[in-house]
Amino acid sequence: MARKRRRGFGARAPPKSQERALVERAKALREDYSPLLPECIGGCRETMFGKLERALSLVQRFADDQKRLEKLASRGDPLARGYAAMLMIANSGKVPYTAAAPTPFGEAIYAVRGKVPKEVLIGTQHYDDKRLLLLAYMPLAMKKRLYFYATRDKLYCTGKRPEPPEEYVKEALRRIPYRLHRQGRHLMCKHLVSGEPMPYLRIYWKSQEIEIEVCEQCLSGESNLFGKITEGIGAKEPMEDFEIDAVVDLEVVSDGENCPKPEKKGMKKIVDRYVHGKISDRKFLESALSSGRKGYQDEGRYLIIGRKCYGEDEKAFIDALNPKKYRKVVEVFVRAREGPIMIESPSINKLLDYCWDRWGKKALLKILGNKERAELVWNEHGKVGRTPLEIIDEALAMLEADKKLEKLPHYEKLPKTAEFCDSVARSYKIWGKDGAVKTIDSWPSKDEHIKALAYAFLSAMGMEKGREWQYNRIEKELGESLKERADKLLSSSGDGYHRALVELLRYAGVNEKVVKK
């Protein structure tokens, strides 16, 4: 069985309507090839295209000679080759197969003929759309450093200077994907018109003295404004007629003398990616903002939240964070700084994340006032899943416990029953009911005095429900009788705590000696 012959990749039979339209465009070029030529304006001279016109004229002389056209479509000027390919289509009157290629203006179908570059085939076969015809002139623009401007209906050449025609400028500005307010030759989004301080993308069209500014709130993550404006420009360096920048100056809230000036590092690379359409408007500004933050000098002790700079005004900075119960902690971390603090939003978590590895250990020592304990807490930050704020909460709980325990007496080694009562009471004062219950559960004793005292504490805290089955009738009865004295121990401090402990043990029938240090 004979193997079926396969067509080239991407080849397909075009719809009849597209085939007829392509043949008609080809036939229209038999007598007049001028639709393939740009209109010279400004610094353009007709002589710049003299060689091309002579090549096109030569092809036209052999418009009826299909064999000669095949040769002309395989050598010489690329545009002349594209013209020869079009005359071949006109002569055959049909286009069995076409290919398709993406362009900045959508997918374009084209018929492969001769040895003609794809872009030239697309441009010459769709010469009625001058934006596609521009593709055919890009090699010339690159080689000769010429400027071309394509509207839908016309292709202009301005020679070696960027001098866009008015028609192109109007069409380019209509393509801007944002609603902008125009003030003379200055186009701005509504937020910048109202004077709101925020970073923005700025594009300056030098030859037109047109300034376009769009803030971060309006910028799209899908659009590329520079690409929209320049999509009809054919030039080796279209950027020569434009300035692109991200205005990311800080908003000075307080103490402006100590606010830094951003030194945007890596902007050339960011602009290059943006100009080549690799990133959107929003991504461009975000990258520039990030670059600006990295470009701040590490010298100084300035304080920044987002784009707002507070200089070295610690109070204003801390007020902006609204730390509430953590105010003293925040004050310690801010005052302990060994350089600037730069966080993206007013968040205590972000502040602690920023400071932790830089001077967190020093701040912890100031909070806890004890080097050994600060070391212990600091080592917690290496554990998986522990955030600085969680570790700070634990440190604060330690401080609170220390304050409570300072009010309690210290004892020599306590006897077993007295130790149990003291442990439950201290746990209650530090951790509350849940802490006290955990301590009770950690004493699995069969001693009837300890069990009766455990029930007394549970009853005093109202935590006995659901636990009655763990105690026999005698233990519960004795526990109920000790309830008030257990409650007194839980609420006492100082010498009163010692008296309450001794009294509780005596009424429980425990003959143990309790000695204070």
Do residue 207 and residue 189 come from a single domain?
yes
| The pairing of beta strand 106-110 with beta strand 99-103 | antiparallel
Do residue 27 and residue 144 come from a single domain?
yes
Q: Is 263 within the bounds of a domain?
A: no
Q: Is 501 within the bounds of a domain?
A: yes
Do residue 196 and residue 227 come from a single domain?
yes
Phi–psi pair at 39, nearest 5 degrees: -90, 125
Q: Is 377 within the bounds of a domain?
A: yes
In 3D space, the residue among 246, 140, 150, 139 whose CA is nearest the CA of residue 203 turns out to be 246
Q: Is 77 within the bounds of a domain?
A: yes
Q: Is 411 within the bounds of a domain?
A: no
Whole-angstrom Cα distance, residue 82 to residue 89?
Answer: 11
Q: Is 96 within the bounds of a domain?
A: yes
Q: Cα dist. 102→106, 118, 273, 435, 463 in Å? A: 6, 11, 20, 69, 74
Do residue 355 and residue 425 come from a single domain?
no
Q: Is 517 within the bounds of a domain?
A: no
Do residue 118 and residue 210 come from a single domain?
no
Do residue 399 and residue 427 come from a single domain?
no
Residue 210 tokens, joined: 């047109």
Whole-angstrom Cα distance, residue 235 to residue 161?
Answer: 10
517 residues of the chain, pLDDT tens digit each: 333 333 444 578 888 999 999 999 999 999 999 999 999 999 898 888 999 999 999 999 999 999 999 999 999 999 999 999 999 999 999 998 899 999 988 899 999 999 999 999 999 999 999 999 999 999 999 999 999 999 999 999 999 999 999 999 999 999 999 999 999 999 999 999 988 778 899 999 999 999 999 999 999 999 999 999 999 999 999 999 999 999 877 788 988 888 887 666 678 899 999 999 999 999 999 998 877 665 565 668 999 998 789 999 999 999 999 999 999 999 999 999 988 998 888 999 999 999 998 998 899 889 888 888 788 777 765 555 678 888 888 778 777 777 878 888 988 889 999 999 999 999 898 878 988 999 999 987 788 999 999 999 999 999 999 999 999 999 999 999 999 999 999 999 888 999 999 999 999 999 898 888 8
Q: Is 260 within the bounds of a domain?
A: no
In 3D space, the residue among 419, 416, 435 whose CA is nearest the CA of residue 427 turns out to be 435
> How many Cβ atoms are within 10 Å of 456's Cβ, its own excluded?
29
> How many Cβ atoms are within 10 Å of 89's Cβ, its own excluded?
21
Do residue 22 and residue 104 come from a single domain?
yes
The residue out of 356, 378, 405 marking a domain boundary is 405
Do residue 151 and residue 229 come from a single domain?
no
257 three-class SS: helix
Q: In what order do the strands lie in the sheet with 303-305?
A: 251-252, 308-309, 303-305, 341-343
Do residue 115 and residue 178 come from a single domain?
no
Do residue 338 and residue 212 come from a single domain?
no
Do residue 342 and residue 362 come from a single domain?
yes
Q: Do residues 122 and 110 touch, judged by C-beta distance below 8 A?
A: yes
DSSP string, 437-463: HHHHHT-----HHHHHHHHHHHHHHT-
The residue out of 356, 375, 405 marking a domain boundary is 405
Q: Which residues of 250-284 are buried (b: 16+ CB within 10 A; e: fewer)?
A: beebbbeebbbebebeebeebbeebbeeebbbbbb
pTM above 0.75? no
Total domains present in the chain: 4
In 3D space, the residue among 317, 315, 306 whose CA is nearest the CA of residue 342 turns out to be 306
Do residue 142 and residue 38 come from a single domain?
yes
Residue 19 tokens, joined: 């085939």
DSSP summary character for residue 143: H
Tell me the residue range of the domain where 241 lies. 166-251+268-291
